[in-house]
Amino acid sequence: MTITLAIPSKGRLMEKSLEALKSAGVDVSAGETRSYRTQVEGFDGLEVLLLSASEIARELRDGTIDFGITGEDLIRETIPEPDRAAAVVARLGFGHADVVVAVPEAWVDVQSMADLGDVAGSFRARHGRRLRIATKYWRLTQGFFSRTHGIQSYRIVESLGATEGAPAAGSADIIVDITSTGSTLLANQLKILADGVILKSEACLVRSHARPHEPAEVAACDELAARFSR
């Protein structure tokens, strides 16, 4: 029997994940080479994989891994019903970033989502098209705009990178993006709306409930989870 845990495969997120595991008594050595294999000490039957952060969210959704460390933003964006298909075992205190709604600073009349709703509502009458939002978080955007704020009249422009440049490039009017210090937004003369924080995200240890487990696996998963809630 093995249970699997995936952690980010590079950078600070990987280092911090390794530290978090270590303080829970799980020692993972992730070879020097570009290998994605690891050696685990301190927890029998645990296999630790190195994957990209967004891949980890997908694998949790599909149940191909039992645990993963990744950003809550990716969990909520990737998994349709995140509270049913997975559970946050522990918030790990690193990788802090907010998913926010940001508009050009020059929109001096827009401070809140209510203002944005008003602008979006009359956008087509004025410009012959819907207000465009560049984002890679279409699920979070839609939930926040449509369900939380009742704003229906907008279009999402899917962005694969450099979302903050979309308004200047003319491919979108506003953006929904992740920011940790806000400096990128500032540099692009974008401002966050007062009530425009969609999610305060950080790295989380997440347990997948997407596939059924044998009793022995459940016991091992419970044990691993318990080490983090201590």
Partner 1 sequence: MGEALDQLFATRGAAPAETAIILPAEPYLDAAGEALRRRIFLTRGEGGENLCLRPDFTIPVCMRHIAEGADLPRRYSYRGQVFRQRADGPAEFVQAGIEDLGEDNRATADARTVADALASLETCGVSLDGLDVILGDQGLFEAVLRALGLPEGWQRRLIRTFGHDGQLRAALESLSKGPEHALEGIEAQLIELARDREEGALTRLIRGRMEEAGLPSHSGRSPGEIAARLIEKVAVAEARLGEGPLQLLQDFLAIDCPLDQAGERLGAVMGTAGLDLGRAMTAFETRNLALRAANVDLSRVTYRAAFGRPIDYYTGLVFEARERGAEDPLAGGGRYDRLMTILGADTPIPAVGFSLWLDRIAAVAK
Per CB under 8 A, the list member of 60, 156, 204, 205 interacting with partner 1 is 156
Residue 129 burial (CB < 10 Å; 0-12/13-18/19+)? exposed
Mark out the alpha helices in 89-214 (DSSP H runs): 113-121, 123-127, 138-142, 166-169, 183-187
From residue 191, alpha-carbon distances to 100, 126, 187, 210 in Å are 10, 23, 10, 38
Q: Does 96 participate in binding partner 1 (rule CB under 8 A)?
A: no
User: Which of 15, 9, 57, 64 minimizes the C-alpha distance to 37?
Assistant: 9
Q: Does 105 participate in binding partner 1 (rule CB under 8 A)?
A: yes
Return the number of the residue (39 or 122) whose C-beta is nearest partner 1: 122
Among 33-41, 43-51, 59-67, 114-122, the segment contacting partner 1 (CB under 8 A): 114-122
Interacting positions 187-216 with partner 1 (CB under 8 A): 188-189, 194
Mask for 162-191, x = binds partner 1 (CB under 8 A): -----xxxx--x--------------xx--
Query: What H or E segment, with its residue span, contains residue 72?
Result: helix 72-78
Binding site for partner 1 (CB under 8 A): 104-109, 111, 114-115, 117-119, 121-122, 124, 126-127, 130, 138-139, 141-142, 145-147, 149-150, 152-156, 167-170, 173, 188-189, 194
